[in-house]
């Protein structure tokens, strides 16, 4: 089943939920569908268009969540799935300042790398090898990362996410039009926190 982008009543991206959860929101009038997925779902009571993007009917306040969580998936999204050193397909995570030399596991010290570069670099500094990066790694920012960080992509989401940051990453949407290809595991999203109104999303 495809996933569905959930927007706040203000159009801010909140996260990604399963089709089932999105349908429950729509059927309970907690959300309206903005974009159809192009398929029809049949139930005992009738047929309904499967949504691809839904918008909550009531605004929910989302507490500040701090930086984008550093996950392999989010890191590969930031670096476009390419080795930052040579441009080959990335298969591993490299610590720019090696951990053995005190480098930390933080956005500004990790990059996507191919196995070859990672192996060649081993526990050396870039300067030791004469390697350079186009730009220093940095933590991504912008509300769109609530979605980009999950690694789930659907080209229909693009116009809704684009105003919220991570513009570069949206070029990748064109090359990965099949969300199932990047869906190895169920994604947990918690768009709404405890103490807030919309119980169905926080279940």
Secondary structure (3-state) at 94: strand
In sequence order, which ranges of 40-195 are alpha helices (DSSP H)? 72-78, 115-121, 126-129, 145-148, 158-161
* Cα angle 31, 62, 146; round to 5: 80
Pairing between strand 31-43 and 13-18?
A: unpaired
- 3-state helix, strand and coil shares in percent for the chain, rounded to the nearest 5: 30, 20, 45
The distance of closest approach from Cβ of residue 71 to Zn ion in the complex, given in angstroms and rounded to an integer, is: 21
String of contacts with Zn ion for each residue 73-92, x by CB under 5 A: ----------x-xx-x----
String of contacts with Zn ion for each residue 28-67, x by CB under 5 A: ----------------------------------------
Between residues 9 and 89, which has the closer beta carbon with respect to Zn ion? 89
Between residues 25 and 117, which has the closer beta carbon with respect to Zn ion? 117
Binding positions for Zn ion, 84-143, rule CB under 5 A: 85-86, 88, 114, 117
The distance of closest approach from Cβ of residue 98 to Zn ion in the complex, given in angstroms and rounded to an integer, is: 16
User: What is the Cβ-side half-sphere exposure of residue 11, based on CA atoms within 13 angstroms?
Assistant: 10
Cα 100 to chain center, whole Å?
Answer: 30
The distance of closest approach from Cβ of residue 82 to Zn ion in the complex, given in angstroms and rounded to an integer, is: 8
The distance of closest approach from Cβ of residue 130 to Zn ion in the complex, given in angstroms and rounded to an integer, is: 15
Query: Interface residues with Zn ion (CB under 5 A)?
Result: 83, 85-86, 88, 114, 117
């Amino acid at each position: 089943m495809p996933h569905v982008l959930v927007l706040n009543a203000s159009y801010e991206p909140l996260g990604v939920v399963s089709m089932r959860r999105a349908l429950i929101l729509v059927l309970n009038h907690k959300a309206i569908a903005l974009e159809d997925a192009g398929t029809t779902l049949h139930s005992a009571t009738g047929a309904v268009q499967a949504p691809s993007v839904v918008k909550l009917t009531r605004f929910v306040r989302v507490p500040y969540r701090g930086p984008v969580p550093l996950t392999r998936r989010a890191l590969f999204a930031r670096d476009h799935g390419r080795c930052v050193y040579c441009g080959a397909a990335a298969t591993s995570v490299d610590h720019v300042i090696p951990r053995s030399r005190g480098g930390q596991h933080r956005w500004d010290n990790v990059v996507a790398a191919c196995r070859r570069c990672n192996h060649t670099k081993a526990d050396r500094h870039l300067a030791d090898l004469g390697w350079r990066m186009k730009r220093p790694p940095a933590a991504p920012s912008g509300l769109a990362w609530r979605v980009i960080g999950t690694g789930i992509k659907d080209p229909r989401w693009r116009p809704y996410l684009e105003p919220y940051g991570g513009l570069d990453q949206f070029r990748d949407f064109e090359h990965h039009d099949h969300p199932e290809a990047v869906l190895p595991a169920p994604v947990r999203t918690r768009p709404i926190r405890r103490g807030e109104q919309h119980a169905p999303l926080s279940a």
